[in-house]
Structure 1
Amino acid sequence: MTSLVVPPSTLGSSFFSWFASSSSNNSLNPPKIFRKTPSNAVALYPISLKSSNRPSFDRFPRTKIWATLGEKDPNGAAPLQVVEESSSSIVDEEVEKSVKVLKDAAKTRRVAAEEVLSALSVLEKAKLDPSKFFNTLGGTSSPGRTWMLIFTAEKKLEKGRYFPLTAIQRFDAAGKRIENGVFLGPIGSLTFEGRMSWKNRILAFIFERIRIKFGPLEPLEISLGKKDEREPSSKDPFFIWFYVDEELAVARGRSGGTAFWCRCRRVNT
């Protein structure tokens, strides 16, 4: 069977509690039974602090305008020359610094929670262009891409913490499938799988079945009784995505909590 594992030494363990958002309980507190990290973790590639894959901005730049009347401006322009100085570079710099903070946090898990919360706030407010988010998140072919949950924050970004368990989410943009799971190495795993849809920056999903695996035994599959084939909508659990590049993804869940993920590898075991 194909399972998802990640390196505890590089990124630490975390548990993706948002798979429970398909029900009415959106608690961020993981059950004690899952407090263990698998030992056979594999990294996709080390987190870099480069931000060359930053999305572009979908906003009109604010401008600073000055005009000279009867004399040249400091740059030698003709009289009555109107000069526009874009402030988008300032916003761009703030985003770049915030992305660096989060990637450093994913790599070391030592960045203070207050710094992580501040970086998440900057990315939420930046209003980046989401046109490339979906394909970056879920790839262009099945089975898609996998991401490990690193940090979760409460509503309004008042508090947050690194997730203590190994939790992976798989997005398949081509097949419009989603899988959330917690992985316990040789002990086993628990995964939720279903279908998803994308509109603008909102990814809605419906879970259809659960798989439970114990040790080397074949997994037990349980249907959740979702027989209708309607497309998931905002009435279902969803994520609102604020930032996605090849290594990092930031989103807010239906309950109002914000989290960020780091790209990880899907391996066969």
Structure 2
Amino acid sequence: MAIFSFRPPSLSPSPLPQPKRCPFLIPPIAPLSVASEPRHRRILRPGAAAPEIGALGEDQRSTVPLPKEESGVAASVKVLKAAAKTRKVSAPEVLAALAVIKKEKANPTSFLETLGGTESPGRTWMLIFTAQGRLEKGRYFPVTAVQRFDAAAKRIENGVYLGPIGCLTFEGKFSWKNRMLAFIFENIRIKVGILGPVQINLGQAEREPTTKDPFFIWLYIDEEIAVAQGRGGGIAYWCRCHRVT
């Protein structure tokens, strides 16, 4: 007679077969350990988001570059200020700086006060550089041209000064809306040599400036320089200066 021996099954489990990984599945994201952190920090951890959001890790977030627009505008402003002081910065460099400022218009909240001050007779600005609308060509302005803006009285004065030869000035009023300054000239003053100035009335004192009149759209203004686009599309910039008498 055959005798069969019975051996009880082993209690240690057999290793389960590992499923094959599908090449199209995203590998699982290891959970972040947050038990040792305060509650207010755990709420803000990116790991709390659903895996499909794909939140960046700590090391990835620290390498995200800052926007380049701010640094580009700051660098362009430095170029324009250097050009105003030396007039030795090349025209292509000035045009490139104006293009950056034109693209990234600054906040105009304080433009009017910075441009024209808070008390009469306002502030004066010397024209430095003018450029065509598409900023393909431009040049330093060859003569002394100074504009005075009086924010308190809403007055504007535009003058060309030729030293002992004389000067020609236009004076009028302006209106302001957002970043647009529209203006009209009411009189002209002409001075030649040692002779006294001659004033000519243009007869526009009864009306207010509108967008149908000449205007500037201001793109950037600080305590040293101001950049604006005219009605014809050209762009110019000025530097702050002393009042010319």
TM-score relative to the length of structure 2: 0.75
**CA 1:69/1:127 → structure 2, altered by over 3 Å: closer, same or farther?**
farther
What is the match of residue 202 of structure 2?
A: 224
**What is the Cα-based RMSD across aligned positions, in Å?**
2.3
Q: How many residues align?
A: 198
**CA 1:96/1:227 → structure 2, altered by over 3 Å: closer, same or farther?**
closer
**CA 1:135/1:214 → structure 2, altered by over 3 Å: closer, same or farther?**
same
| More displaced stretch, 200-209 vs 181-190 | 181-190
1:132 aligns with 2:110: yes
Tell me by how many angstroms 1:231 deviates: 2.1
Measure the CA separation in 1 of the matches of 2:233 and 2:29: 52
Tell me by how many angstroms 1:88 deviates: 6.4
1:190 aligns with 2:158: no
Q: Structure 2: 5+ residue runs without aligned partners?
A: 1-27, 33-41, 50-54
- 1:157 alignment partner, SS class: coil
TM-score relative to the length of structure 1: 0.69
RCO comparison, higher one (Cα < 8 Å, 6+): 1
Q: Structure 1: 5+ residue runs without aligned partners?
A: 1-67
* Counterpart amino acid of residue 128 in structure 2: I
Measure the CA separation in 1 of the matches of 2:100 and 2:166: 38
* Counterpart amino acid of residue 220 in structure 1: V
| More displaced stretch, 188-197 vs 86-95 | 86-95
What is the match of residue 226 of structure 2?
A: 249
Tell me by how many angstroms 1:217 deviates: 2.0
What is the match of residue 50 of structure 1?
A: none
Tell me by how many angstroms 1:71 deviates: 4.3
Measure the CA separation in 2 of the matches of 1:153 and 1:251: 11
Verify the 8 A CA contact 1:69 1:79 in the aligned structure 2: no
Measure the CA separation in 2 of the matches of 1:142 and 1:247: 19
**1:148-204 CA-partner distances (Å, limit 9, x unpaired):** 000000111111011111000000000100000100112211000000011000000
After the TM superposition, which residues 140-155 of structure 1 pair with which residues of structure 2 at under 5 Å, given as runs? 140-155=118-133
* Counterpart amino acid of residue 156 in structure 2: I
% identity of equivalent residues: 62
